[in-house]
Amino acid sequence: MTTFFRTDADLHFPDSDGKPIADNTEQFRWIVLIKENLEILFADQPNVFVAGDLLWFPVKSRLISPVAPDTMVVFGRPKGRRGSYKQWQEDNIAPQVV
């Protein structure tokens, strides 16, 4: 499992946008269903990262706001916990499915 540690530079790229999630129960059920089934589908593939509602910073710039897809799949990145997905720290591999 890969672990990513927070540095001073990460203060500009936080793990939360500080905004509450405002989804309804049906939308949340679909998010969980899709994300968990993708986890099962790729369970035996160590280099497929699946996440749900995770901030994605595509570039190291404060001018471009992060997004948090309901679910994302990144082929070529190891499974593991992340506070956010900072693409420049992930071999610059963007999520292929969001």
- Residue 60 included in any domain: yes
Is the confidence at residue 6, as pLDDT, over 70?
Answer: no
Rounded to whole angstroms, how far apart are CA atoms 86 and 35? 20
> What domain range includes position 51?
46-98
pTM of the model: 0.79
Mean pLDDT for all residues in the chain = 87
- Residue 84 included in any domain: yes
The residue ranking higher by pLDDT, 43 or 26, is 43
- Residue 54 included in any domain: yes
The pLDDT value given to residue 27: 86
pLDDT interval class at 62 (50, 70, 90): confident
Number of domains in the chain: 1
- Residue 38 included in any domain: no
Q: Give the CB-side neighbour count of residue 37, counting CA atoms within 13 A.
A: 6
